[in-house]
Structure 1
Amino acid sequence: MQAEYDLIVVGSGPAGRRAAIQAAKFGRNALVVEKGRRVGGVSVHTGTIPSKTLRETVLNLSGWRERGFYGRAYRVKQDISSDDLRHRLLKTLDHEVEVLEHQFARNHVDTIMGAARFTDPHTVEVTGEDGERHLVSAKAFLLCVGTNPFRPDWVPFDGENVLDSDDVLDVNRIPRSIVVIGAGVIGVEYATIFSALDVPATLIEPRDTMLDFIDRELIEDFTHQLRDRGVTLRMGKAVVKVTREDGQCITHLEGGRVCKSDMVLFAAGRMGATDSLNLDAVGLTVDHRGRIKVNPATFQTEVPHVYAAGDVIGFPSLASTSMEQGRIAACHALGEKAQKPPEYFPYGIYAVPEISTCGMTEEEVEERGIPYECGIARFRETSRGHIMGLDSGMMKMIFSIKTHRLLGVHIVGEGATELIHIGQAVLNLKGTLEYFVENTFNYPTLAEAYKIAALDAWNRMPRKG
């Protein structure tokens, strides 16, 4: 490790790793500072990879995907324990860390484990777990420190019965019932994952709606699926307090209503992990959630040689977009050419069922005053859907009536996060309805839904001439 670098990246999550490797590809000296015990950041250790691994394990062991054929009582494993869930999780995390360490090594990216703190605009002090300190300097910095769960004082977190979204990955038992506070992406994902384990789940949200950036028709379908399998939704009611009484968790709502459960998961927001960086020394400020403001085209902060990317800058807070943000930021910081972020990127919510969306929602199209038509395909209409035993799931496509251009694709159901990429490609290439009508899709596949939805829209389109 040297004393001065072209780029110092604080945090080794998706944005940090991509930025550091991109810098190395340019032949520049890059250092990654990671305060955890292993590289990977929140994405690998408490966020994206663990939650998705947990989801996959639950779906496999519970037999969820086969219940359309064999009934709701079908199980692959009758008694699923927390050890069953943790076994696959640890294997997956070990593999992810090994891959990342190898990428850093073969690209000659230096790493140092410890907490970074600015001492002046071009220098950070890194303090390791053993107390050893290192001073390192750089021409440019990229802050990819991620976020921590928001933990309000009135919630009695204990890591066993009342949890945040990091704690939930270390639970030593499967709860008999669970209340999830917060119907954002994380809350919805965990509520539905536990529901797939046949754990009675209650989802509480102070707003009257959830996931407002998703097309409303999709959310209506998703909500129907949740209620159909017994998930209780308490919308428009804020939580006043959480207490423990007689071995149970009691969640008190506005108006006097209470929800009793074996476990409570608080998943109402996250805070930028910026407290320990001493940003005053570099002249940076953060908002009330600890997030850093950046130029959305370059990810440059108010301080020209300091950049930020990933969850610490806020929406969309996706691993996929964070990777691109980190790469673009590294290019700009090092004076190399970089394209603008893509106009359309897919958003994936790994609930049960999955939700994925790309492009404009119907509400956005209406706001812009664009004449449009929609096409709908139900997964049960596809042969592949019948083979898989699917009785739910839908795809919605939105087209311009004037130009026939695809404006948005919205999917809820099995494989949604994989299927969305066909629509993403057509959107970014400015493709039209005719692409889906005239092209051949593998049969039988769920991708056939693209043709079904396109034909549905075409049948409604006004005929020219």
Structure 2
Amino acid sequence: MTSYDYDVLVIGSGPAGESAALNAAKHHQRAGVIEDRSMVGGGCTHRGTIPSKALRHAVKQLMRFNTGRLFREIGHSRQIPYPTALSVASGVIEKQVEMRSKFYARNNIDLHIGQACFVNEHTLAVRQADGIIEKITAGDIVIATGSRPYRPADVDFDHPRVYDSDTILDLKNTPRKILVYGAGVIGCEYASIFSGLGIKVELINSFDYLLAFLDDEISVALNYHLRDMGVMVRHREEYDHLEASSSGVELHLKSGKRLRGDALLWCNGRTGNTDGLNLEAVNLEADQRGHLQVNRNYQTSTPNIYAVGDVIGWPSLASAGYDQGRSAAAASRGKETVRYVDDVPTGIYTIPEISSVGKTERELTDAKIPFEVGRAFFKDTARGQISGEDVGMLKILFCPDSLAILGIHCFGAEATEIIHIGQAIMNQKGEGNTLKYFITTTFNYPTMAEAYRIAAHNGLNRLNDY
């Protein structure tokens, strides 16, 4: 029997890679991790979720200060520079790195720092910073290399006024006006963040609506609130070319419009980090966006090689990555049935935030599935009035006959937290997943969660309102 250095070797220490390595170690397998950064955490910790959400939190605090009655009594509104707001993230990143480093040490998981490259299906070459190449072998290999912002060849990202969602975290000044090209999740999040800092924002969307995968009512609400914050949203516009100079940027659109700003943030898609892995050596091929194909066990076409996280594309969420990593590790040690992650809630950290689970109104209508709607507006909840977080609503879609919950959509403060109550009920068996739960269960008062009771009564009243 061939002896390898590790039973499971993981490339990447982001959420997906970390969970794969920890799962293997918890089941008494020899596990190792290769990371190309000097510290663990992957793109999620250093360039993605953690810094952007920490930045958002700082901006939201500033907005509360500038709009709250109490604060107006003790001082005038304030504006803070973008780099100052961003500095909040550094402390959070340090805590995350320290915590995750302890995970590896506590579970005896070896960490190799360097660039990984396949030699064959059981061997990886790791090029360290000093040029030394280390060869490591493993029975099974998990690719969890994540993704990076997509960069079209004709956009000069070396120009000091042109940024992507990674490099925007290195911005050293506060622009008066920023152009955000791409109105996906990242583009909408940054548009609300910059607007919250008092920066003029133009958000360019290639499609008819913002985040068309959302429930239509939520998409419309997001569009309204971004405009209400001062964001100029331009729909059905496509990039033609960019001119950047020392004085600013000018974005030319195919419609003939020319938009000017102090900086451009390009947020138009992401690319899987597979181009440096030498996939040819293991008979694998990524698609045009660098993504790898896997089966429901997260196994690639090379049996001992698995892939998880952003590198396999949808849903490209840290939450999903954690579960995918565990599933891949379980499959690699022979577990026949593992969880394939396809039921994750949507979590979008705009200001206000958005979260949803289950079907949208459009999906149910297209499928000819009868449904009814129950709504609760946060302005009508005591907790919303007390906290000042009175923008938004909770919306429940349910079957008018069985009262089974078909979808839940939330827009407003703490939406990504509130959604999990509904998600838990939807996943119950039998009659446990119906609207009746919210009617027959006593909720703390005042809370934002009370919106479920209000929405449930609203929906039932609609059934009885002849």
Give the TM-score, by structure 1 length: 0.95
* In structure 2, distance between residues paired with 1:238 and 1:247: 24
* In structure 1, distance between residues paired with 2:310 and 2:74: 39
Question: What amino acid sits opposite 1:458 in the alignment?
Answer: L
The match for 1:313 is: 312
* In structure 2, distance between residues paired with 1:347 and 1:247: 39
- What stretches of structure 2 of length at least 5 have no aligned partner? none
- What stretches of structure 1 of length at least 5 have no aligned partner? none
For 1:21-58, what per-residue CA distance to the aligned partner results, in whole angstroms no more than 9, with x for missing partners? 00000000011000111111010010111110111111
Kindly tell me the number of residue pairs found equivalent between the two proteins.
Answer: 461
Structure 1's 427 and 343: CA in aligned 2 closer, same or farther, altered over 3 A? farther
SS at match of 1:135: strand
SS at match of 2:455: helix
The match for 1:213 is: 213
* In structure 2, distance between residues paired with 1:100 and 1:77: 38
- Structure 1 residue aligned with 2:443, among 441, 444, 447? 441
Structure 1's 93 and 77: CA in aligned 2 closer, same or farther, altered over 3 A? farther
* In structure 2, distance between residues paired with 1:74 and 1:160: 39
The match for 1:403 is: 402
* In structure 1, distance between residues paired with 2:22 and 2:12: 13
User: After superposition, where does 1:126-275 map in structure 2 within 5 Å?
Assistant: 126-158=126-158, 160-245=160-245, 247-275=247-275
User: After superposition, where does 1:345-356 map in structure 2 within 5 Å?
Assistant: 345-356=344-355
* In structure 2, distance between residues paired with 1:235 and 1:201: 14
The match for 1:110 is: 110
SS at match of 1:100: helix
Structure 1's 195 and 371: CA in aligned 2 closer, same or farther, altered over 3 A? same
Structure 1's 81 and 227: CA in aligned 2 closer, same or farther, altered over 3 A? closer
| Cα contact 2:320–2:341 (8 A) shared by 1 | no
Q: Does 1:93 align with 2:93?
A: yes
* In structure 1, distance between residues paired with 2:8 and 2:75: 51
* In structure 1, distance between residues paired with 2:87 and 2:337: 41
The match for 2:420 is: 421
Q: Does 1:53 align with 2:43?
A: no
SS at match of 1:299: coil
* In structure 1, distance between residues paired with 2:248 and 2:183: 22
Q: Tell me the CA shift for residue 244 of structure 1.
A: 2.4
* In structure 2, distance between residues paired with 1:69 and 1:375: 32
Percent identical across equivalent pairs? 42
| RMSD, aligned α-carbons | 2.1
SS at match of 1:203: strand
* In structure 2, distance between residues paired with 1:97 and 1:211: 32
| Cα contact 2:65–2:71 (8 A) shared by 1 | no
Give the TM-score, by structure 2 length: 0.95
For 1:202-237, what per-residue CA distance to the aligned partner results, in whole angstroms no more than 9, with x for missing partners? 100122222122111111111111112211011101
The match for 1:123 is: 123
* In structure 1, distance between residues paired with 2:232 and 2:191: 10
SS at match of 1:275: coil
The match for 2:31 is: 30
Question: What amino acid sits opposite 1:450 in the alignment?
Answer: Y
Q: Does 1:327 align with 2:326?
A: yes
* In structure 1, distance between residues paired with 2:298 and 2:8: 14
For 1:311-355, what per-residue CA distance to the aligned partner results, in whole angstroms no more than 9, with x for missing partners? 111111110011000000100011136542466322111111101
